[in-house]
Amino acid sequence: MADVVIGGIIGVIAVFVAPPRPKVAEARTAVDAYLADIAALLRTVADGIGRPDVVLPPRARHPFISDARALLGHVGKVADAVAEGMESVRFNPRARSLQGELGDVAKRRLWATVLATQARALAGSADRLYDREGTPPALPAASLSVLLHDLA
C-alpha cells in the first residue's frame, strides 16, 4: 500500500515540478507550414492556367488539382498540433502565460482552414474554366495569374 502512495506522490511531483516543455512552437510551425502550402497552391494555379498550347479534354484535370486535394491531408495534422499545444499549456502550471499566444495560433489555424477551403474552390473553378474548348472566361488567364501571384 505504501508503494502505491509513494508512487502516486512521485508521479504528481514529476508532473508539477518538471512538466514537459509546452508545444507552442510546434503548433505555430504547423500553422505556418499550412499557410505556406496554401500560398504555394495559389502560385501553382497561377502558373498552371492560360498556356496557349494547352487545351484540356472535358474530363482531364490540371496538375494543380492534386495539390488542392493534398491540402485536405494537412487539416488533421494542424488541428492535432494545435490541440497538443493547448494540452501542454493547460496541464503545465508554469506555462499559463503562453495560453494567449496559443489562442492566437488557434485563431490562425481556423483562418487557415477557411483560406484553404477558398483556395481549393478557386483551384477547382480555374480547372473547370481555363484551358478548355469553347468560350473563354470573362477574366483572362493572364489577369487571373497576376492576381493569384499577388494574393499568394
Q: Which residues pair with 56 in a beta bridge?
A: 132
The cell numbers describing 85, all together, are 499545444
The cell numbers describing 101, all together, are 499566444
Write down the pTM of the prediction: 0.80
Closest by CA to 92, choosing from 5, 3, 15, is 15
pLDDT tens for each residue of 15-41: 555 555 667 888 899 999 999 999 999
Residue 88 pLDDT: 76
Per-block average pLDDT, block size 10, for the chain (152 residues)?
Answer: 68 58 83 96 94 82 93 89 82 69 89 95 94 88 93 89
Q: Find out whether 71 and 41 touch, Cβ atoms under 8 Å.
A: yes
